[in-house]
Amino acid sequence: MILYGAPNPAPNPRRVRIFIAEKGLDLSETLVNMMKREHKSDEHRARNSLGQIPTLVLDDGTAISETVAICRYLDDTNPGGALFGTTPLERAHVDMWIRRVEFVLMNPVGMFWRHAHPRTAALLTQFKDFGESNRANYEGSLKWLDRELAEKPFIAGETYTMADICALCTIDFADWIGLPVGDDFPNVQAWHARVTARPSAQA
């Protein structure tokens, strides 16, 4: 297998690296230079028609993209651990929280990155007022998440899961682009300290 990805601060490849570290898998990453637009090359689009990373190419040439799909495949083919839950109810809750993280937390971060950040200005037409409005949207998302984390240690409950990986990568990327977690969100800060203390967070 070959895993195509990119170094930090790219949040999506980091999701897969953290998952691999948590599972204890021996799978190295082949870097795609995003600054040189290698992910948009014909060679990479043959693996992923959207020109995105990460992408996992299996030994038979089959390509899998989208971070959760890649991690599910690796989880199913490498038993052990419970990053997607162990019972139908646990798996449903993890799936629910992954979707919530992506829609509620990640969406305003992505919109701010695309429409208000100077690094993306040359890549697309920016609507800066809309982009800046997502600061408030992200603050609202953090307020919601802070309430949710008031009585549980991790995003989906009592154990660390793929939902925590998704949230950590989103929040760290948000901080990198200028959307830090403020002191108004102590439960998010405490959660962030817990998950960052895990060795896998260095991936």
Q: State the chain's mean pLDDT as an integer.
A: 95
| 123 phi and psi angles, rounded to 5 deg | -100, -20
Q: Which residues contact 31 (CB under 8 A, 6 or more apart)?
A: 4, 5, 6, 7
**Angle at 160 (CA atoms; ends 74, 88), nearest 5 degrees:** 65
Domains of the chain: 2-77 (3.40.30.10), 88-202 (1.20.1050.10)
Structure tokens at 137: 């949207």
Helices 162-176 and 107-116, packing angle to 10 deg: 30
pLDDT tens digits along 48-82: 999 999 999 999 999 999 999 999 999 999 988 78
Structure tokens at 3: 């895993």
Q: In 3-state terms, what secondary structure has residue 72? A: helix
Q: What pLDDT sits at residue 202?
A: 95
- Distance (Å) of CA 26 to CA 1, 7, 19, 64, 125: 11, 17, 12, 18, 41
pLDDT tens digits along 140-167: 999 999 999 999 999 999 999 999 999 9
Identify any residues that bridge with 2 across adjacent strands, giving them in sequence order: 57
Q: Which residue has the higher pLDDT, 124 or 133?
A: 133
pLDDT beyond 90 at 28: no
Asked whether the beta carbons of 117 and 134 are under 8 A apart, the reply is no
* DSSP classification of residue 57: E
Asked whether the beta carbons of 187 and 146 are under 8 A apart, the reply is yes
* DSSP classification of residue 46: T
pLDDT beyond 90 at 174: yes
What is the torsional sign of CA 17, 20, 21, 27? Answer: negative
